[in-house]
Structure 1
Amino acid sequence: MTAQTLDPFGYWPAKRSRIRSLGGREKSDDANYVFHTSYVSVPTGPAVAEISFDDLVADTGMIAVRIFQHFPAGKPAVTERGKVTALLPSLARAPRTIKLPFDAVAGATYAITGYVFGECDAHAHGIAVAIAGRQGERDDPSRARSLFGRLKARRASAMISSDSPQLAWPVSQGFTPDQTREPDFHRLSALLTNGGAVIERWESAYILRVLEQYGRLEAGARGLALSAGPDPVAAVAQDAGCIIETVAVGSGATIESACAARFRAPEEGVGFDFIYARSTVLGSCGSAQALATIEDMLARLRPGGLALLIVNTGPHLDQHGLNRIVLGIAAFGHIAAQLRHGDTAGGSVPFGLVVRSSTENVIT
């Protein structure tokens, strides 16, 4: 299917967009309106809507992008066929394409809409909207859903829990001395050929426990290990039958630059069932850098894949900063494991953020 380019303001050409400099000159009846294409016919079969911004600058705002399906004789005539939300400041910092997969059916027409709710301070030079086929994705292993993972991903009833972090049921959590007294710590530490100090051994045990609990430490699972130095976890994962690619991320390097140097072709650096990055990759960083790194990791995963980023807490990244990271992950449609802070206020400790990549809408 040849891509169709849609006029983002085709439905209401005269109406002014909530994102400044876009749309027509008339004030919209809906203060949340950003764009709304006309309804168009789409060839029957798997398709994807793609939305990107030109020169977006944003301080605040969250956009909800939806696909609407229209049947003239339907009851109701219009139904929602896909939705994804995104933080405009994140899109402004690192321009990405919002993609909403859907299945077009005979006799229906489709429109793509965007609305911003709450505060919004943003402007852009343009919006590009297109609909293309995705028949070829079945032949692309990197876009096939990950087959690994025993637990069904569900959004937690609460983003933050006051329960103490434990290795017996690992979520997004930080180091605590109590975890080093658990049976799982001793069992997994015994597998490490070079464990290092107690906190380093906890970090290795935590990574292994997450991979184990979430069904990734399985024969045939393809993983990417990111570290600034030797990583004993990769050897344990290989012994379990995982296919592990290791990438050394040197001082001042980004994951993107390290992977570009490591892999001969870009397609070799995507399509993983899980990715983990040790605390040596980012060291001390703020929430914005951590979130951008997670977004890079998620772009390398298969749908449904698992990302684990370990950061160091401290004045630069406190409990509020960790909360902002998880909110940003949720805004992109991915699922973050519940936060259990423990004693992150007591100083700098490694803290693991566990994220499951969306199986549906993606932002790349």
Structure 2
Amino acid sequence: MTINAPIPAASSPQDGTPLLRKWGALWRHVWRDLRAFPYRSRAPLALNPFSFWPGHASALADTAGHMPPIVPGYAFHTDYIPSAGGRIRFKIRLNGLRANKGDLVVAINRLNGQGGIADPKIKTISLASLVERNSEVSISMRGGLGFSYAVMGTVSDDADASADGIEINVTGAESSDALHRRFETARREFLSEPGSGALAAVIVERRATLAEPISQMCTAHQIDEPLYAEWCARIGQAPSRHRKQWEFVFICRTLEHYGVLRSGSRGLGFGVGIEPLSSAFAATGCHIVATDLAADDDRAQAWNKTDQLGANLRQIYHPHLCEEKAFFDRVRFREVDMNAIPADLRDFDFTWSSCAYEHLGSIQAGLDFFENSLRCLKPGGIAVHTTELNLSSNTDTLDDGATVIFRRRDFEQLAIRLIRQGHEVIPLTFDSGESELDRVIDLPPYSSGPHLRLALLRWVATSFGMIVRKKA
């Protein structure tokens, strides 16, 4: 029956409705594909087969890594790629595949616009038959607007397969042009808006600098300042155009500028992992309590498996930054849940964290942490915490789950809360930089540099540091 064929007289309206709905759904899919076409990548996009769990051993290819696999039979897992709304197709080629038995299970995993997990599409293929079919397999599904997709492969327990390498590409993903359009729109609109009301004097139009740091995002100009190279040397790193290194430098320079990085000061670090800051601060004569999640906490497993979890003093010690006796005299390690800061952690001159409070479960949990961290300070103490800033939306974002992306309005909400409590919020600038490097968006698999802006699912993000002085 075609869409314009008459419904037989014997059919009731209820009988015809499902068919009309099917045709309506079909035309909606066609219209969505046509609408999405300008925003879709024209050419296949090559993906790193192992970028989602880098360094972990693959059951198929020796080139993946040597750490224990995250899931049994793990073969590959790409990063998540945003869809413009049309059909998305992954093509996997297993170069030099050798197999006599077992199956390959391929799944398209998908996340909705808030980062929630949606039902995957799964395909099971005999590995022996793949050898006969040029070792290639394709899997596709209709992409949802605002959804992001990754392809994952596992092999069955009885598989005897091995491959020389794995190649994966995707068609139907959102083009990088769409990300750049959203970023440029944000620069013209909400990022450049002046403050109003209670925030009129707190949101300032000022270039972000390390010479006089305020609450600000990572920009190329700061990396070019002499202070950047100076602080890189003090934390034992060669300068690079990478936002994570900027976070370390920004925290150090902020504490120095506001007069709390001095001999005898007490500092409290949250989610320190194996970062160099505890050692660098101890070298200046500060007494530090470095904290991280307990190693047996379920939430710590991902960090532990990627060697980013600090579990003891020896693990966080950087011998090239601080003499051993001074470090172990001045630094203590403690297991702390940032969602439940112990009441006895008090009277510190400063607190800090580097890209930690976006991993507390929700935007609200992150804002609560920042507020609660001020209780750990002496009157006049400084809190400086860096996190993710959404550069493409002040409305839609990842607001729940293992990683969230804060918006400008979230920092404004936090500033108002803290001002009402009598704290001094160091002014915020949303200067996003003017150089070409400030407009480069790093796409998965991410590079080691330049890496100031990156695509996180369908959003553009960067690092942002907020500074607050506790009320006297």
Give me the TM-score of the superposition, normalised by structure 1.
0.49
Give me the TM-score of the superposition, normalised by structure 2.
0.39
Larger Rg: 2
